[in-house]
Amino acid sequence: MRGNPEVTPEPKGPVVVVMKTNRGEVEIELDPEKAPRTVANFLHYVDDKFYDGTIFHRVIPTFMIQGGGFTCDLKDKKTRGPIKNEADNGLKNERGTIAMARTPEVDSATAEFFVNVVDSAFLNHEDETPKGYGYCVFGRVTKGMDVVDTIRNTKTRFVRKGVFENVPVEPVIIESVRRKKEKEKD
């Protein structure tokens, strides 16, 4: 079995999280039925408050906003082991979806995620090859897409080749990500 076998799936049915940033709040509905291991992994990080104080370190207005792995001083946070890529779940990388970031290795996703700001079909699962496997979508923004668009239009700078080519000039901080309580759900 590929990926981290220790990640156990969450119960069935949608789970909603609220991401508070220094630009506003974003509500995301996760899909544990289509991406059980990915949602469970993400929620482990949420419940551990791992994302608190991390940043969106990669902002490309014609593509996506990526975050969840680095602090304001661009130091990476220690993560758990990688998980199995569930990109073959039928969910598409469309505007407003959240997906796991990874390296070119298929099963390398840990904590970093991105929100698609445009439809990105080239990230969808096409086949079982490393190039065609795709990026696992595991949820969708249900409120706060205006906040995502504000982040998307943030001025960026080049820090160094690789991960830090599109870093916001003014840090976009993820202040917290929490599960939305039942009574708060609409």
HEC profile of the chain: CCCCCCCCCCCCCCEEEEEEECCEEEEEEECCCCCHHHHHHHHHHHHCCCCCCEEEEEEECCCEEEEEEEECCCCECCCCCCCCCCHHHCCCCCCCEEEECCCCCCCCCCCCEEEECCCCHHHCCCCCCCCCCCCCEEEEEEECHHHHHHHHCCCEECCECCCECCEECCCCEEEEEEECCHHHCC
pLDDT at 1: 42
Domains of the chain: 15-181 (2.40.100.10)
Which residues, in sequence order, are bridge partners of residue 167? 157
* pTM recorded for the entire structure: 0.92
Q: How far apart are CA 142 and CA 116, in angstroms?
A: 13
pLDDT at 163: 84
Q: How far apart are CA 168 and CA 164, in angstroms?
A: 10
pLDDT at 3: 52
Single-letter amino acid code for the residue at 70: F
Q: How far apart are CA 169 and CA 156, in angstroms?
A: 5
Per-residue pLDDT of the chain (186 residues; tens, 9 = 90+): 455 545 555 557 789 999 999 999 999 999 999 999 999 999 999 999 999 999 999 999 999 999 999 999 999 999 999 999 999 999 999 999 999 999 999 999 999 999 999 999 999 999 999 999 999 999 999 999 999 999 999 999 999 988 899 999 999 999 999 999 866 655
